[in-house]
Structure 1
């Protein structure tokens, strides 16, 4: 029996997965400017297939937040990944790190929850080492 009430946690998790998928695509085809970013989000096949407007809206907010602060987020990725340059990090892990670090720094999401969500994305979409890589970097995050 689930302790979750309502559909909010489900919407947020599904929105986070959708944002991750769009960020992954963005890593292969980066664009600039709010209008182009919004168009890239809307044209993504995963977004087009998502029927829940709340999921799409949450994913859009995350995607635009990450991409509008990409320089800052990527600096955090490089800072906490120590010897790893952005270009050497696999795209799946990079998209997860960008999303997770954005949520840690720019939203009210608790840090431990952001780490957990990042690790869950790594388990679902990464390879066998992804979850440890993500957890190690996110655990070296900025502390308040």
Structure 2
């Protein structure tokens, strides 16, 4: 679910959030990072839980409509197509997913049910829903395409949901695109025979990715002073107050990868931090960081300081 760039962003947030002496920073930042990484999965589960609750809401809404004193013929005999949507039914009946939600004590929509109502209403009033409900039956493929469409066009871009998740946990602000992309990929790969565990993907691709974030955080903090000195020697003509804290953190992380991660190519490191700078720092930051890192790379090459393993890593 999490790629290396997003792990780097999480480490950047941990380094940016906590300042102090190295021993204090290491413990606090490590806890912050682990919590931030794990909470991404909570957001993922909360989003899937929302879809399940929307499915339940549809059934509840239909039952109440049928019981209206002056219900119309259509209201008394409504289409069951949405309720019988194979993908939504599969998701709602997923015992492994339900068990994981219970294990993590996640029930976000019990108190915040109004967001379920808002989202269901947006779906029910959409042309996507009306077109889907215009026929009485559908195939699994059609059901899947419909769920993908309402997720892409209605749920994922919903501003009220976006604000809700941001208010719940600040770090979720950066996780929402990653989580939404992961959910879409899972839906697109879904088949009638897909096992329940399909909706419980691993947070990290492998153990190397899991360890990468922790090691990057630890090694950056433990060498922060020397990295800062190195950056300072390359920015003597710059007013220190003009260099943003984010830029400093990103350059420290890049230098850490240059020195402490022999298997990561130099170009990959530079490109990753330039892209992160474009998103999280000032408009001029990526050019500034590129200039400083370029000086450091040239110096390391001239003095044979690189300790990279493998061909093409420089």
Q: Same fold (TM over 0.5)?
A: yes
Q: Which moved more, 1:87-96 or 1:35-44?
A: 35-44
Map 1:119-138 onto structure 2 (within 5 A): 119-138=274-293
Decide whether the 8 Å contact of 1:77 with 1:86 is kept in 2.
Answer: no
1:104–1:36 distance in 2 versus 1, CA, 3 Å? closer
| Length-normalised TM-score, structure 1 | 0.77
Decide whether the 8 Å contact of 1:80 with 1:140 is kept in 2.
Answer: yes
- Give the alignment partner of residue 17 of structure 2, picking from 7, 11, 25: 25
Distance 1:86 1:104 in 2: 23
Distance 2:261 2:240 in 1: 23
Matched, 1:100 2:280: no
Distance 1:14 1:78 in 2: 27
Matched, 1:40 2:40: no
Matched, 1:73 2:239: no
Deviations, residues 48-102 of structure 1 (Å, cap 9, x unaligned): 5233355553222111100111121112111222323656521110111110111
Distance 1:19 1:46 in 2: 9
Q: Which residue of structure 1 lines up, in the alignment, with residue 272 of structure 2?
A: 117
Give the count of matched residue pairs: 133
Matched, 1:143 2:133: no
- Give the gaps of 5 or more residues in structure 2: 42-202, 302-314
Distance 2:273 2:22 in 1: 25
Specify the SS of the correspondent of 1:50.
Answer: helix
Q: Which residue of structure 2 lines up, in the alignment, with residue 60 of structure 1?
A: 214
1:39–1:57 distance in 2 versus 1, CA, 3 Å? farther
Deviations, residues 13-33 of structure 1 (Å, cap 9, x unaligned): 22111111111113xx32431
1:22–1:86 distance in 2 versus 1, CA, 3 Å? farther
